[in-house]
Each structure stands twice: as C-alpha cells, then as structure tokens.
Structure 1
Amino acid sequence: MEKTLAELAEYVQGTIVGDGTISIAGVAGLDEAGQGEITFLANPKYRPKLEQTQASAAIVAPDVECSGLNLLKVSNPYLAFAQILTLFSQKFHPPAGIHHTCQLGEEVSIGDLCAIGAYVSIGNHVRIGDRTVIYPGVVIGDRVTIGSDVVLYPNVSLLQEVSLGNRVIIHSGTVVGSDGFGFAPVGGQYYKIPQIGSVVIDDDVEIGANVAIDRATLGETHIHRGVKIDNLVQIAHNVVIDEHSVVVSQVGISGSTKVGKHVTLAGQVGLVGHIRIGDHVMIGAQSGVTKSVPEKSILSGSPAVDQRMWKKSQVSLLKLPDALKRIRAMERKIQELEEQLQSLAESGNE
C-alpha cells in the first residue's frame, strides 16, 4: 500500500509543511526510517533525532520545525502515528472457515465469515458473532456468548457462561472465568465456596497474554467498554473495572473491588479487596492500595499516599544517612557537654 503525504494529512486532519505529493509506503521509528517511510516525534527529548532521520516525512506537533524534511503537523502526533500505523498494518488472520479438527458442541451458533482454527473446542449452547477469529487451541465452555469482530489468540480459555462484546481482543494463554479464590475456614481446614457467577466483558476491551479473570462468586465480574489490560494481570471475583481504564502488567486486584472510569493502574500495583477507586485516578508502579481512593487522586508508594507527599518522602529518605551521621555527632557533643557540666557541678560542691 502507498499513500501520498497529502492523503495521510487528510486522513489524520493535519497540515503539511513540504511536498504533499511524495509517496509513503510504511511507518518506522526515527532511527530506522528510510526513504518512502514516515516517522513521528511525540516525545520532545528525541527532538535531536529528527535532524538525523532518513525518513521521507515526519509526524510532529504544530510548533516543531525541521528544514529539509517534509512535516505532517497535527495536534496529537502520537495519536496520528497510531492512526497511520493502523492504515498501513497488515493483518494475517487465517481465512474464514472452520478447521476440520474443531470440536463443536450442541446448539452452537456461528456467524458469517468466522475463522476457527485447528483443535478449537467449543461447548454447548455457544453463540459466536460475525467475522470473529479464533486461533488454534482455544477452549470455549458451555453457554458462552462471543460478539462480532472478536479475536481470540492461541490457547485462550473462556470457561462456562462468559460473555464477550464486540471487537474484543484476547491474547494467548489468558483464562476468563476461572473460579474465584473463595474458601470458608472450618476446623483448621478450608471449605471451597462454589463460584457460580459469570464474567462479562464489554465492547472494545483488549486483554494481554496470561491474564486471569475470575468468575464472580454470585453475580458477575465485569470489565466495561474500552478497558485495556496488559499481560500477567490477576483480576479476582466480583471485580468491576469501569470504562476506558488501563491496567498495566502484573497488577493484582482483589475480590469485590470497584475501579472507576479512566483509571490508570501502573505496573505491579496491588489493590486490596472491597474498596472503590474513583474516576480519573492514577496509581504509580508497585503501589499498595489499602483503602478507597477519591476521584482524580494521584497516588504512589506502599501503602499508597498522595504522590506529592510520596516524592518528598523519597527525597528525604535519600538524606537519612547524612542526617543520622549529624544526629550521632550531635549526640556525642551533647554527651561531652553533659559530662563537662557534671564535672563543673562536682567541682562546685567541693
């Protein structure tokens, strides 16, 4: 595929500085791009590389100038890069059809133009929408509902009574609908609590590789529209994650916790159970959250506190060794002064 720079500018609603008639056949980074490719500058710290790139054009912010290089100026270079990359990306999904090794249960409904790969196992009373792609080794349990334009990569497991919306993407090794971690202690042992709820995943959710999303004990575990979940995340029973939140790798969310809209949980964040995270909250990497968080808060640390306070504490922490040296020196000086005073007092009594 080739597009002129002018066509790309129209596609992303940008303006051109330079030659709009040049042909663009691909997208690459500042270091790797060559003739016929377009690159992008989203982070100002890479500005010097713009002068050295061999790309035919670059996507930049409106205030960026670079003589000798064709520029496509947009208000959000990173978004425009993503849009143009989507335009040029090639999808190599398998062709429509059902592989002869696929195992189908009873009363399975499969939409038009679906591609179902080798050794897929589909249970009873399953509904699959149009144009859905299911890669080899996927396991789909009984009474599962899958929307249209869904992609399930190899070895995904959707256990019984899971529901997926439209345009959901789930990467390899993820398990949706495993039992929640529920046990009642009795006589020094643990009695398993049946997990009879479901998991509901709404439209436009993407889930990374090797994620575990547990079914609810009662009711549902619910991942709302537009949520993006990275690899190696644990989401426990009855958790709710509201629209357009981002959950980064190795996050653990304990049971019955509610996460609001547009929340960002950075890598290795841990949330205890039965708390609420307000809308537009940002929680820094490796933070441990032990209580509910009001909306628009920014937290870091373990236990998590306001990020400004956490930053100050980290600066202070680095100064502790020197402070301890000064304190010990002052203690020694005080001890010397006390000994001198004691000696003077004893001399005065003689």
Structure 2
Amino acid sequence: MTYSLAKIAELIGGTIHGDDQTIISGAAGLEDAVEGDISFVSSDKYLNVLESSSASAILIGKNLYKSDIKTPCLLVDNVYLALSNLLSIFSPDIHDVTEDKTMSFISPDCQIGEETKIGMFSIVESGTRIGNRTKVYGQVFIGENVKIGNDCLIYPGVKIYPGCEIGDNVILHANVIVGSDGFGFAPNANGEFKKIPQIGNVIIENDVEIGANTVIDRASMGSTIIRKGVKLDNLIQVAHNVEIGSHTVIAAQAGIAGSSSLGSYCQVGGQAGIVGHLQLADQTMIQAQSGMTKSVKKAGTKWYGSPAIEYNNYLKSFAIYKNLPDLQSRISKLEKLLEELQQQLK
C-alpha cells in the first residue's frame, strides 16, 4: 500500500516542507532506505548521513530541520512518538493464529470470546475466561480459573498459572511465565528449608507488554500486581508480592525482590537489582547495573551505582574514584617527603 506524504501527515500529524505528493510505500533507516521509503532523523549527528540517503522523505524533529535539506520532510515535535504511529501504518498483520481444535485442548466450561483464536497444541483449563479478539499462539498453557481480557496477544510458550488475571490489550512475548511460585522457604531447627505455599495470584492490568522469558511470581498471599501501561523487557524477574506502578518501564535482566513496590512512571535500567521490601517513589530513575538497597521517598530522583546513591553524588564520587591511583601516588610522595623532613628535624 502506498500513501502520499500529505496523507501520512494527516494520519500522524506534522508539517510538510517539500513536495507533499511524494509517494511513500515503506519505512526504513537512513542507510537502508530506497526510493519510496520514508526514514527518520532523531539527532543532529545523523544529519550528515541524510545527504547520502536514498529515502524519498524524512521524518524529522522541528528542532533539527534545516532549510537546505533537499529531501521532502515531515516535521514533528516528538520523532519517536511519530515514528511509532508511522510504523503502525506500514506494519503487516503478523499476528494471525492457525487454529485446529483437534490439536488443542479447551475445557468445555471455558468462556471464549468472539473472534478469539487459540493455536495448535495450546491448553486452556477449566473455568478460564478469555475476552474478545484475543490471539493465543500455539503451545501456550493457561491454567484453571484464569481471566484474560480483550485484544490480548499471547505468543508461543507462554505459561499462565491458575487463578491469574490479565487485562485488555496485554502482550505476552514467548515463554513469559505468569504466576509461578514465589521464592519462599522457612528454615527449620536443622537448617533445612521448608517450602512456604504460595496461595496468591498475579494481576496484570490493561495495556501491559512483557518481553520474552520474563517471570512474574505469584504472591504468597494476595497479589503480585503489574499496573496499567507497564512495559517489561526480556529476562526480568519479578518476585512475589511486588507491585509495579502504572507506566513504569524496566529494561532487560533486572530483578525485583519480594514485596517491593515501584511507583508510577519509573525507569529501571538493564541488570539493575532492587532488594526486597522497598518502596520507590513515582518517577524514580535507576541506572543500569545499579543496586537499590533503600527506599526512595522523593519523586523524580535518579540513582546510580551498587549500592546505589543519588546520581549527581555518584558522578562526583566516580570522578574521585577514577583518580585514586594518581592520588595514591601523590600521597606516597608526600609521606616520603614528610618522613625526610622529620629525619632532618631530629
């Protein structure tokens, strides 16, 4: 399907500089674009690449546009938000599910919504309810009494344990585990560990996306809760009774220990660790590979390091740390000089 640049501007917004009847048939990066493609520029460091690009049009931030750019441009306030809307136009429907009811098992008492599809070799156990237009790929396991909302997308290998609840417009990528037992064990007099039954569940609210191989443990009692709009990357561990606030984003390989609570609009970098029973305020930002060991009460703060300290303090401390070899050498020289002076005074 092709669109004029004017039509694209109508669909995603923005102001056109250049030929608004330029025909666009796809989207690609600056270096890969061919005639008919629209590309994008999100930083001034890519402006020099623009000159050699074969793209027919450029999506560009208003603050980056220069009048000497010869390629037709669509100027927007937020390049990445506009790019998201743009790619939705050219994104093919890759989410079709092949159904064969002779090769899957759906308990007779399940409630399956209209236009919902369940792929081959998937299992849906007793008492489960799935809403409308949800797509369940092959080899998915959905346990007893699970609730799944409308317009969800559940990729192959996902396992949803009994009693868990999933809202509308949720995406679970391959091999996500929802509702596995929390890591709960009690030591006895002999130093052996006895398993603590995990009788709670997991609640995932609307508009959540969870990356491949992420695990969300069920609560020991009550619920582990993933609030509306949360985005979790691949390979994240969310322990029992954790609550992640709305529209928080967490990058790959992060881990959150039991009973910790993250506020809304937080950002957590890759491989960060959060110990148990912490409360982090809204809009907390944690840099990659940091280790949070204490609660954060003030909203909008940044943290870095392990154990993590406030970001600006970390930068000051690191400036000293990286100079430690030089400082140590200077101290050694001063000590030697002091020793010589003491010898002269004797």
The alignment status of 1:269 with 2:272, answered yes or no, reads: yes
Q: Matches of 1:121 and 1:95 in 2, distance apart?
A: 15
Asked whether the 8 Å contact 1:98–1:115 carries over to 2, the reply is no
Give the corresponding residue for 2:138: 136
Q: Does 1:338 align with 2:346?
A: no
3-state SS of paired residue (1:79): helix
- How far apart, CA to CA, are the structure 2 residues paired with 1:241 and 1:44? 35
Aligned length: 342
Give 1:30's aligned residue.
Answer: 30
Is the 8 Å Cα contact of residues 141 and 160 (structure 1) preserved in structure 2?
A: yes
What is the aligned counterpart of 1:199 among 195, 202, 214? Answer: 202
Q: Contact (CA 8 Å) 2:200, 2:222: kept in 1 or not?
A: yes
Q: Is the CA contact (8 Å cut-off) linking 2:27 and 2:33 kept in structure 1?
A: yes
Which position in structure 1 is the counterpart of 2:317? Answer: 313
Cα distance between partner residues in 2 of 1:163 and 1:2:
41
Pairing 1:184-263 to 2, within 5 Å after superposition: 184-187=186-189, 188-263=191-266
- Choose from 298, 304, 307 the match for 1:303: 307
Residues 290, 305 of structure 2: 8 Å contact kept: yes
Contact conserved, 1:97 with 1:113, CA < 8 A, in 2? no
* Residue 41 (structure 1) shift: 0.7
Partner of 1:59: 59
Matches of 2:96 and 2:74 in 1, distance apart?
Answer: 35
1:346 aligned partner: none
Give per-residue Cα distances to partners, 1:134-157, cap 9 Å, x unaligned. 111100000001111111111000
Task: For 2:61, give the aligned amino acid.
Answer: A
Whole-angstrom distance in 1 between the partners of 2:99 and 2:115:
7
Structure-1 separation of matches of 2:276 and 2:174: 27
Please name the residue that 1:103 is paired with: 105
Q: Distance in 2 between matches of 1:69 and 1:321?
A: 52
Q: Within the alignment, does 1:161 sit opposite 2:182 as a pair? A: no
**SS at structure 2 position matched to 1:87:** helix
Pick from 320, 323, 326: which aligns with 2:327? 323
Q: Quick one: distance in 2 between partners of 1:73 and 1:226?
A: 28
Q: Secondary structure at the match of 2:77?
A: coil
Identity %: 43
1:183 to 166, 169, 185: 185
Deviations 1:194-251 (A, max 9, x none): 1000100011100000011000011100001100000000000010001100011011
Distance 1:112 1:96, change over 3 A: farther
Shift of 1:100: 2.0
Task: Tell me what 2:44 maps to.
Answer: 44
Q: SS at 1:16's partner residue?
A: strand
Q: Distance in 1 between matches of 2:174 and 2:325?
A: 47
From the CA coordinates, give the structure whose radius of gyration is larger: 1
In structure 2, what is the Cα distance between the partners aligned to 1:98 and 1:196? 34
C-alpha distance in structure 2 between counterparts of 1:277 and 1:45, whole Å? 36
Gaps of 5+ in 2: none
Q: CA deviation at 1:95?
A: 4.6
Counterpart-to-counterpart distance in 1, 2:195 and 2:290 = 30
Contact 2:97–2:137 (Cα < 8 Å) also in 1: no
Post-superposition Cα deviations, 1:278-305, rounded to whole Å, max 9, x if no partner, equal 0011110111101111211111011111
Counterpart amino acid of residue 269 in structure 2: A
Determine the C-alpha separation between the residues in 2 that align with 1:170 and 1:179.
Answer: 19
Which of 275, 294, 318 pairs up with 1:291? 294
Q: CA RMSD in A?
A: 1.1
Q: Which runs of 5+ in 1 are unaligned?
A: 343-350
CA drift of 1:190 comes to: 1.1
> What is the Cα deviation at residue 73 of structure 1?
0.4
- Equivalent residues of 2:151, 2:168 under 8 A apart: yes
Q: CA deviation at 1:96?
A: 6.9
What SS does the corresponding residue of 2:212 show, helix, strand or coil?
coil
Contact 1:168 1:206 in 2 (8 A): yes
The code of the aligned residue for 1:320 comes to: L
Residue equivalent to 1:172: 174
> Aligned AA for 1:255?
G
Partner residue, 1:149 = 151
Instruction: For residues 173-212 of structure 1, give each alpha carbon's deviation from its aligned partner in whole angstroms, at most 9, with x where no partner exists.
Output: 1110000111111121111111000100011100000011
CA drift of 1:97 comes to 4.3
Cα deviation, residue 47, structure 1: 2.1
Pairwise CA distance, 1:93: 2.2
TM-score (norm 2): 0.97
User: Cα deviation per residue 1:94-113 (whole Å; 9 max; x = unaligned)?
Assistant: 35745421112241111111
